[in-house]
Amino acid sequence: MTKVHTAGEKAEPTIQVRTLHKSFGPKTVLNGINLEVREAETLSVLGRSGTGKSVLLKLIVGLQAPDSGSIRIHGQEITGLPTDPLNEIRKKIGFSFQQSALYDSLTVEENVAFPLRRHTKMSDIQLKRRVQELLSTVGMQGESQKLPGQISGGMQKRVGLARALALEPDILLFDEPTAGLDPITAAEIGGLILRLQEKRKVASIVVTHDIRGARTVSDRLALLRDGQILIEGSPRATKTELNYFAVSLIGVRIGCCFPLATSETRELDMSRKATKPEDEKPSVTLPGTVEKIIPPIPPIVPEKAQIAIEGAEELYKEIRVENVLQDGDGNAVALKPGAEVEVKIEADKAATIPKDPSEKSSSGK
């Protein structure tokens, strides 16, 4: 996906952040952030809630001002820029908000048309045609007359993305694009981001705590912790670090029972059914392989599947879950040695999900 340049040519970063600092009162949120994003590149910034991911986006788009540091868009410094020239730069930045930020009293069509009415001189016919093109791009062409309250959360995300694309930006900023969505809808949003990137070649930053989704859509990943970039690299290069970080993140946040510095086998309860989005707890999904099936001990201990977690050997050797599973349709699934699965880890539960063989590897695109 990344643009290839000729020998000796070095493209200027579309977004360049240097030694960026931001505090709110005594709390330091960003403590010397450095990052770059080039044309046709997607960078995902991961981290726990409250680590400053969304603040970083707001600083880049100029909704907040940094305490110190530099932010350059296409080589132009925007910190301290007057409102009028800053607004001109903002027109080339599409922002997809975490909660979609749609106007409740406007229809889907009117929401997408809003920036076009404000910043262009399109006629009503041109505007309507452009809105339909945008809605078609995100698969919402049949919902144009509905209000935001009449469509699902995933649909609202799509409409918000269509609005972000309205002025044909060359930068896209995504604030938690899959937050609160069920796994299927989250995957659809991830696929939409990929298709838009391949078609439009924009520079994108995705802030998220969804490690699986970030691996799918990103050229590079950056882990934000304690106000600094802890790790940065390609999804493949950072695979082990990401798995370690993921389990550590859950452990720190909700008191998970996993040891964070030893290799141990863990016995975990089986979550037989996917958690509803409104009841969802902090969790992480990691790839794994069934190593063996452990026979039951009647009548108390059921048959268990022993699963090795890829790239997380420093945290634990494997986990064991009851080998009576259900897929997304509620059908019984019996695991066999060698089967590739995904393990959703919560505070004291692990749910194994049979891996779709047609799905792209989570280690790269």
Nearest to 256 by CA among 302, 213, 312: 312
**pLDDT at residue 139, rounded to an integer:** 87
pLDDT averaged over the chain? 76
- CA-closest candidate to residue 281, choices 7, 57, 12, 49: 49
Is residue 322 scored above 70 in pLDDT? no
Q: Of 40-49, 206-215, 349-358, which range is least confident?
A: 349-358
Rounding to the nearest 10 degrees, give the CA dihedral for residues 192, 281, 322, 260: 100
What is the model's pLDDT at position 323? 63
Q: CB within 8 A of 1, min separation 6: which ones?
A: 40, 41, 42, 197, 198, 219, 365
Q: What is the pLDDT of residue 180?
A: 78
Taking alpha carbons only, the member of 63, 65, 89, 62 closest to residue 75 is 89
Give the up-direction half-sphere exposure of residue 191: CA atoms within 13 A in the CB hemisphere. 12
Quick one: pLDDT at residue 362? 38
Residues 230-257, buried b or exposed e (16+ Cβ, 10 A)? ebbeebeebbebbbbbbbbbbbeeeebe
Which residue from 287, 101, 282, 98 is spatially nearest to 207, judged by alpha carbons?
Answer: 98
**Region 83-107: what's the mean pLDDT?**
91
Q: Quick one: which of 39, 84, 30 has its CA closest to 57?
A: 30
Paired residues of 353 in beta bridges? 342
Domains and CATH numbers, the chain: 15-246 (3.40.50.300), 262-354 (no CATH)
pTM beyond 0.85, yes or no: no
325, 335 Cβ separation under 8 angstroms: yes
In this prediction, residue 232 carries a pLDDT of 83
pLDDT per residue as tens digits for the range 9-65: 567 899 999 999 999 999 999 999 999 999 999 999 988 777 889 999 999 999 999
Q: How far apart are CA 227 and CA 53, in angstroms?
A: 9
User: 330 CB contacts (<8 Å, ≥6 apart)?
Assistant: 273
Q: Which residue has the tokens 């939409």?
A: 192
